[in-house]
Structure formats: C-alpha cells, structure tokens
C-alpha cells in the first residue's frame, strides 16, 4: 500500500511538472511571435448565399476593430463535425481572437447545415465522406471569393487554413485541390484525408493523444523530412480539445503553436 501510494505521488508530481514546462513553453513562444495589435476584437456574423448551389454559408469574421482598410493576411477556420448543429463555427473564438490580435483577419465557416445528410460513421469513410469534404472545399472557395470582393485589400490569394477533425480533412483536400491559393494548411487532428505530400503549400498537423489517424493519413518521417511537413504531438490533448472546449492552458498552447506554424517559425 505504501509503495503504491509513493508511485501515485511520483506520477502526480511528474504530471504537474510537465504541465508547468508546457505552460512556460507556450508563454515563451507567444512572446517570441512579435508585437500584438492592440484594440478591441470585432466579430461579425453573416450568412453568404452561394446562388449557384442554392446554399447558405454562415461565417464569422474576426479582426481588430477599426483596421479594415489595412492589408491583412487571412486565416480560414473549418470546424469539426458536430451533428449538423448550427453555431458550430462559433466554437473557435479563442483561436480566432488570438489570431486577430496577431494581425490576421479570421473567417470561421459553418460547413454543415441542419438539412444536410449526416456524416457517415461506418464503412470506408475516406470514400463515403468525400462528398462532404468536396462540399466543404466549395464552401471555402466561395467564401474566399465573396470576402475578397468585400475586402480587396486583404490577401485572399495566399490564405492559411486551420481545420479541426473533419474540418481538417476539408482543409487538406482544399490545399490539394487549390494549392496556389494556400500558403499554409494546418490540420488539428484530422484522421481520414491524407495530408498532401508537398512543400507548397506548407503542411502541418497537431496530434492528440487519444485517437489515431487512418493508415496513410500522416506522412512517414522520411516524407516529413522530404517535404518539410510538420507533424507535432500535443501532450495532454484529447481530440475534442482543439476548440473552445479545451482548458485555458490547452487553448493557450494550441494558439501559440498555430501562430508559430503560420509565421513559419521553428521549421526544420
């Protein structure tokens, strides 16, 4: 009993130490990412209509208030699957606001609508989910074109993509389909769509501890080295933590890591 209690105490001490080290790392990374833009964050929600597909696309736009006339790099956020519930695109406010104060214009897209078919959960998911991903690719393409017409001073020709889970699958397919429109594509623990084996656009993926990607999704160490693809394990993260559901500490680490990838710091 005494031995088991000592082992338990040692494990708890190591967990605390690991948390402190990772928190310090996240803070140091954030400080190294350059000056922040001070000002209130403005969030506008609007619904775009793709008349060619007769499809409504709700989006949320985040940026520092009062600077719309200045050039901005653009980040597109694509949420994970959430049973077609409306408002899922608003569950990335922590990341979106963090990116906004680092100078980005952020557009978060609602990909599924309540009237859409449910996402397949059984069978060959890479095949069965492909129509969902292709629709998501068209959502991103339409949003980029529509927002470019409203904000021509922003850089919609070399955007950054950040997608969680199924939204990561969509983002990877967009990067593969329209590589010249993407500067960097970051998957937050996508599991089905293979990461494009390419150096342009830049490709990266943050990985949780509790689930594994399907075979062939992640590049081998040799492919990572060849193409400069970054696959980063995130200790302490579960698959569901890559959004506002994560603890403040986890969100801080994720946000800092995403900005590091966007700015190409730490690339081997």
Q: What is the per-residue pLDDT for 25?
A: 40
Average confidence (pLDDT) over 64-86: 94
Using the predicted structure, report yes or no on whether residue 4 has a pLDDT greater than 90: no
Using the predicted structure, report yes or no on whether residue 157 has a pLDDT greater than 60: yes
For 89-146, write each residue's pLDDT tens digit: 999 999 999 999 999 999 999 999 999 999 999 999 999 999 999 999 999 999 999 9
Please answer whether residues 228 and 202 qualify as being in contact, where contact means their C-beta atoms are separated by less than 8 angstroms.
yes
- Whether residue 21 is contained in a domain is answered as no
Provide the domain limits for residue 231: 33-262
- Whether residue 20 is contained in a domain is answered as no
- Whether residue 252 is contained in a domain is answered as yes
Q: Give backbone dihedrals phi and psi of 217, rounded to 5 degrees, phi first.
A: -70, -50
Say if residue 133 is preceded by a cis peptide, omega within 30 of 0.
Answer: no
Number of domains in the chain: 1
- Whether residue 171 is contained in a domain is answered as yes
| Window from 26-40, 129-143, 162-176, 182-196 with minimum mean pLDDT | 26-40
Q: What is the per-residue pLDDT for 67?
A: 80
Q: pTM (2 decimals)?
A: 0.86
d(CA 212, CA 209): 8
CATH number at residue 223: 3.40.50.1820
Cα 198 to Cα 114, 176, 179, 202, 219: the distances in Å are: 35, 9, 9, 7, 10
pLDDT band for 267, please (50, 70, 90 cuts).
low
């Amino acid at each position: 009993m005494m031995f088991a209690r000592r082992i338990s105490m040692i494990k708890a001490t190591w967990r605390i130490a690991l948390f402190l080290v990772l928190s310090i790392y996240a803070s140091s990374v954030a400080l190294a990412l350059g000056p922040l833009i001070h000002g209130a964050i403005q969030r506008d929600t609007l619904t775009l209509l793709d008349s060619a597909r007769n499809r409504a696309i709700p989006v949320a736009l985040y940026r520092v208030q009062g600077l719309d006339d200045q050039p901005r790099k653009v980040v597109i956020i694509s949420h994970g699957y959430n049973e077609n519930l409306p408002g899922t695109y608003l569950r990335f406010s922590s990341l979106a606001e963090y990116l906004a104060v680092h100078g980005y214009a952020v557009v978060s897209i609602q990909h599924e609508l309540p009237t859409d078919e449910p996402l397949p959960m059984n069978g060959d998911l890479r095949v069965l989910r492909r129509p969902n991903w292709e629709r998501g690719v068209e959502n991103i393409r339409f949003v980029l074109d529509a927002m470019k017409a409203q904000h021509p001073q922003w850089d919609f020709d070399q955007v950054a993509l950040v997608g969680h889970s199924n939204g990561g699958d969509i983002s990877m397919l967009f990067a593969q389909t329209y590589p010249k429109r993407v500067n960097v594509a970051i998957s937050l623990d996508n599991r089905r769509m293979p990461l494009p084996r390419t150096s342009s656009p830049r490709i990266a993926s943050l990985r949780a501890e509790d689930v594994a990607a399907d075979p062939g999704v992640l590049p081998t160490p040799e492919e990572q080295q060849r193409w400069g693809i970054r696959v980063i394990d995130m200790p302490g993260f579960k698959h569901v933590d890559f959004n506002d559901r994560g603890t403040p500490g986890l969100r801080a680490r994720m946000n800092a890591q995403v900005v590091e990838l966007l700015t190409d710091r730490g690339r081997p």
